[in-house]
Structures are given as structure tokens and as C-alpha cells.
């Protein structure tokens, strides 16, 4: 089938199912992922996505979708909130990555000792990552991104992205037989990216100010912003930093740049980017998540998938809640942040795909990781919806450390 016919079919299905789930109090991403699951039914998948070129286009739109979504998150959230919650974000990011990694690693060594040390490392590494794309969309749907817990989830997820980059670099080095020097270059490449991003920030600030002084330059402003996003994403990807980190940093930098242009143009730019992202490309990312799911593999591997999901979920929630003695958050707030950190859907799929392509993990473990990714992504929206409904104000409440009660 022609790609121009497939694109509207996907958008219609994503829109209708998304609206259906919004009516019952759940975010639209649940419906969008469900659309992907429906399109993933073998007969339908063969009909719509039988040609490789079609899947390439869908994958490109999905990548553009997650890129714009994370850029929007960096653009919309107040930087002051990130600063205020930086301590909690760092602690949560570290612990919610280390605990699931350790649990996954030990599980493989104890239950599948024949798989070896390397499989344990990769399995644990795939469990430790967090999908910011899912978190951001759910938080936006509930209008709680710009809250205290929203800032913590975003910042902790951004720090988690650094772990993902380092771990992906390790997997690639191991898969391709690289040296420790290749791995040591990753921090150097990160520093190089930050340096170039800062220069780009200075340039775009001047360009935006100049365009802002002219009348009827809304199109020019939007073009410059879009170029800035894509250049930073391409640069971060070429330096092995990862386009997701580039998107978030780009959002933060543009937020600072836009303070120097008129309020009218700020609002117009933000609304234009949001309309194009949410109305067109972001749904492809979540539909694509559903498309990766294989029902036959799932049914043949239910015990392993069940254990993988339990380890992944327990690791994230326990890893988040153990920071309580040194955190400013309540137990209940940490519990819901833990569920937020448990959402996956991107990096672990890349890790699993590279690992199986180079024979570092078995098909059984690969299918468990893919299924875990989808299941943990679908779990977050209803749990967060229930938490917000039953605990109004929990996303922004502060804790009195002496009484340990919510305001």
C-alpha cells in the first residue's frame, strides 16, 4: 500500500483510540500504542507495512516525534523547578538505575548461568533505562509537567539518558570488538557536544532577536527554531551523545533564548511547535512502540516475560523509594515517581536489538525485553491517573521534613 495512504490511516486510528481513552480518564498515548498493537497483527502488518520503505518512513516519523516531544518538554518546563529539585533528581536517577541493573544481572547469573556474564550485564542494563518520551506525554496530557514531581521525573530521566548513552556505547564496543579507548571517548564527545551547543545557543539568540524586530517574521522564526532542533539532534547523534539528550538540551537553551523576544512571538512559536508535534508526528512514536510487539513470541515466552516485568518494576520503585532518608519527597510522592521511572519504550529496544544482532543475548531474553518495554509503558498512564485523582496536589506538594507530612 502507498505510504501516502498509510499515514492518514495511522493518524485516524491513533486519533480515534486516543480520544476514546481520554474520555475514560486515561492519556491518549494508551490509545496510540493500542493502535500500534492492532496494526501489528500479522495479516494487517503485512498488508500495510509489507514494503521495507514504508517501515523506514514510519520509523523516521517516530524518531522525529520523540525528538520534538522531548524538545517541547525542555522548552516548556521552568528551569528554576529543575534547579530546585536537582538533588532529588540525581539521587532518584542513580538509585532507580542501579537497583534494577543489579537485580537483572543477578537474576541472569542465578537462573541462566549458561548465558554468561555478558548477557547478565546487557539484561540488567536494559532494565535500568527510563523512557522520557512516555513520561513527558503522560505528564503533558494530565497538565502536570510543570510541577515539582514533573520536573523531577524529567530531570531524573535526562540524567538516566546519560547512563543509557554510556551503556549503549559499552554494548556497541563489546558487539564490535572495540577497545576501552573507544569507551573512554564517550565523555570527551559529551563535552564537545556541550561546547558546540553553547556556541549554537549564542548564535540563535542573536538571530531570534534580529528576526523578532522585523514584522511578519513568524515563519522565519519557526524555520530557525526547527533548524536549531535538528542540527543539535544530528550533532548529538554524530558525537554518540544521543539525539534525545540533544533534544532536551536544545529545549532548555531555546527557552533561555526566547526570553529575549516578544511575548507574542514566544507564544506563537510554542503553539506552532506543539500543534505540529502533537497533531502529526508524536503519534507515530507511540504507534511504532505497539508495532514492535509480537503476540506469538509473547505467548511462547510468558513465564520469562512475567519475571522480567516484575524485576524491572520492583527495581525501579524500590530504587526510587530507598532515597527517602535523604529526599525532600514523601513516601507517596516517591512511589509515583518510581512508577514514572519504570516507563520504558526506546533505548532498551536499541540495546536489545544490537545485542541480539551480535549474538550477545538469546531470542528468549530479547523477546522478554521487548515485551517488558511495552508492558511497563502501558502501566504508567492508569497508575498516574489514579494517583493524581486520589491525591489532588501531590505533584506539587512539599514535605515538612520535621513532621514528614504533605502541605
Residue 397: the pLDDT is: 66
What's the distance, Cα to Cα, between the start and end of the chain in Å? 57
Q: What is the CATH number of the domain that holds 185?
A: 1.20.1530.20
The count of domains in the chain is 1
Q: Which residues of 150-184 are buried (b: 16+ CB within 10 A; e: fewer)?
A: bbbbbbbbbbbbbbbbbbbbbbbbbbeeeeeeeee
The answer to the question of residue 406 being in a domain is no
Torsion sign, CA atoms 63, 157, 135, 137: negative
| Window from 2-16, 121-135, 179-193, 285-299 with minimum mean pLDDT | 179-193
Q: pLDDT tens-digit profile of 148-205? A: 898 898 888 878 877 776 776 666 666 656 566 766 777 788 888 889 989 988 998 8
The answer to the question of residue 80 being in a domain is yes
Q: What average pLDDT does range 198-222 have in this prediction?
A: 84
Q: pLDDT tens-digit profile of 239-267? A: 877 777 788 888 888 888 888 788 888 88
DSSP 79-147: HHHHHHTHHHHHHHHHHHHHHHHHHHHHHHHHH-GGG-HHHHHHHHHHHH---HHHHHHHHHHTT-TTS
Residue 325: the pLDDT is: 92
Cα separation, 291 vs 45, in Å, equals 8
| Window from 149-153, 273-277, 351-355 with minimum mean pLDDT | 351-355
Residue (of 93, 107, 102) closest to 125 by Cα position: 102
Cα separation, 26 vs 48, in Å, equals 28
Q: pLDDT tens-digit profile of 1-52? A: 788 899 999 999 999 999 998 888 777 888 898 999 899 888 888 888 888 8
Mean pLDDT, the chain, whole residue set:
84
Q: pLDDT tens-digit profile of 330-341? A: 999 999 999 999
Find out whether 68 and 248 touch, Cβ atoms under 8 Å.
Answer: no
Q: How confident is the model at residue 308 (pLDDT cuts 50, 70, 90)?
A: very high
The answer to the question of residue 230 being in a domain is yes
Model confidence, pTM: 0.75
Q: What average pLDDT does range 355-372 have in this prediction?
A: 82
Range of the domain at 249: 3-400
| Window from 61-75, 164-178, 219-233, 281-295 with minimum mean pLDDT | 164-178
The answer to the question of residue 407 being in a domain is no
The answer to the question of residue 405 being in a domain is no
Share of the chain above pLDDT 90, in %: 21
Amino acid at each position: 500500500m502507498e505510504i501516502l495512504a498509510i499515514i492518514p490511516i495511522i493518524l485516524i486510528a491513533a486519533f480515534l483510540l486516543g480520544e476514546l481513552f481520554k474520555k475514560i480518564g486515561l492519556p491518549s498515548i494508551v490509545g496510540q500504542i493500542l493502535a500500534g498493537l492492532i496494526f501489528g497483527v500479522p495479516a494487517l502488518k503485512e498488508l500495510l507495512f509489507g514494503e521495507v520503505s514504508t517501515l523506514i518512513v514510519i520509523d523516521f516519523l517516530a524518531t522525529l516525534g520523540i525528538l520534538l516531544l522531548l524538545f517541547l518538554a525542555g522548552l516548556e518546563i521552568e528551569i528554576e523547578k529543575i534547579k530546585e529539585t536537582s538533588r532529588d533528581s540525581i539521587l532518584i536517577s542513580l538509585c532507580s538505575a542501579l537497583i534494577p541493573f543489579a537485580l537483572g544481572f543477578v537474576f541472569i547469573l542465578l537462573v541462566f548461568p549458561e548465558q554468561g556474564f555478558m548477557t547478565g550485564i546487557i539484561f540488567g542494563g536494559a532494565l535500568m533505562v527510563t523512557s522520557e518520551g512516555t513520561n513527558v506525554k503522560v505528564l503533558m496530557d494530565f497538565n502536570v509537567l510543570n510541577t515539582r514531581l514533573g520536573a523531577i521525573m524529567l530531570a531524573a530521566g535526562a540524567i538516566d539518558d546519560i547512563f543509557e548513552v554510556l551503556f549503549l556505547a559499552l554494548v556497541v564496543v563489546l558487539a564490535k570488538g572495540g577497545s576501552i579507548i573507544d569507551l573512554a571517548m564517550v565523555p570527551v564527545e559529551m563535552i564537545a557536544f556541550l561546547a558546540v551547543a553553547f556556541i549554537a545557543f549564542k548564535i540563535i539568540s542573536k538571530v531570534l532577536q534580529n528576526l523578532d524586530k522585523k514584522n511578519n517574521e513568524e515563519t522565519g522564526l519557526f524555520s530557525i527554531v526547527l533548524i536549531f532542533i535538528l542540527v543539535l539532534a544530528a550533532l548529538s547523534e554524530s558525537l554518540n551523545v544521543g539525539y534525545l539528550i540533544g533534544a532536551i538540551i536544545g529545549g532548555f537553551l531555546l527557552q533561555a533564548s526566547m526570553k529575549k523576544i516578544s511575548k507574542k512571538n514566544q507564544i506563537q512559536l510554542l503553539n506552532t511547535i506543539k500543534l505540529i508535534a502533537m497533531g502529526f508526528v508524536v503519534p507515530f512514536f507511540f504507534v511504532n512502540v505497539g508495532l514492535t510487539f509480537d503476540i506469538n513470541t509473547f505467548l511462547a515466552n510468558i513465564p520469562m516475560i512475567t519475571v522480567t516485568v516484575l524485576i524491572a518494576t520492583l527495581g525501579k520503585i524500590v530504587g526510587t523509594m530507598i532515597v527517602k532518608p535523604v529526599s525532600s519527597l514523601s513516601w507517596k510522592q516517591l512511589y509515583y515517581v518510581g512508577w514514572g521511572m519504570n516507563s520504558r519504550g526506546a533505548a532498551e529496544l536499541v540495546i536489545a536489538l544490537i545485542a541480539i544482532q551480535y549474538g550477545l543475548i538469546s531470542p528468549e531474553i530479547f523477546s522478554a525485553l521487548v515485551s517488558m518495554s511495552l508492558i511497563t509503558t502501558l502501566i504508567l498512564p492508569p497508575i498516574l491517573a489514579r494517583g493524581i485523582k486520589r491525591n489532588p496536589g501531590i505533584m506539587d506538594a512539599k514535605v515538612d521534613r520535621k513532621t514528614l507530612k504533605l502541605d
